[in-house]
Amino acid sequence: MREKTISDSEFISLAGEVRDITTKSGTLLVINDRVHVAKEINADGVHLGQQDMSALEARDIIGGGKIIGVSTHSVTQARRAQKDGADYIAIGPIYHTRTKDYEPSIGIQIIREISETVNIPFIAIGAITLDNLDEVLKAGASRVAVCSAIIGSNDIYSSTKQFKEKLNGQQAYG
């Protein structure tokens, strides 16, 4: 759950409501950045950016048994996140993206490097579309985060279904 524009008290209230829904549906809830909120509402985990605390520090706050993910933009950051105890990393932006216009794209080659370097799951992120998904999968990714290609689609259901079908068929790339 990510919401950067509201106060902590508003976020805690909203996150508590979302926690109730995710508990009933058996869905994981991962809070972006706000480790203290994740602990307070007993979220399943937290996702941290490079400007946030380390995975090691977050683990001290939220305890064992919780998921910790870290956004990374280089092999060095990915190694550090793994060493600090991250359960997964996000790597990107692979391609130039409008959702994070301030970050330069890091290219497809980093997927190959990450898949050979870290032993924890990683998620490729950044302007991944149906048109470039095959390239991302062939480079070694098995998980992707997608925003604009689905939300900006004229047919969200169809786009989501196509992503799911391509991802479910990814064993052909391994």
132 is in an annotated binding site: no
72 is in an annotated binding site: no
112 is in an annotated binding site: no
Ranges of each domain in the chain: 1-69, 92-174
166 is in an annotated binding site: no
Q: How far apart are CA 81 and CA 25, in angstroms?
A: 30
- What is the per-residue pLDDT across 24-55, written as a single tens digit (0 to 9) for each? 999 999 999 999 999 999 999 999 999 999 99
Please report where in the chains the tokens 């992120």 appear, as a residue: 125
Letter for the amino acid at 122? F
pTM of the model: 0.90
- What is the per-residue pLDDT across 78-125, written as a single tens digit (0 to 9) for each? 999 999 999 999 999 999 887 666 678 999 999 999 999 999 999 999
Residues counted in the chain: 174
44 is in an annotated binding site: no
Q: How far apart are CA 62 and CA 96, in angstroms?
A: 33
* Assigned fold of 92-174: TIM Barrel (3.20.20)
Looking at residue 157, what DSSP letter applies? H
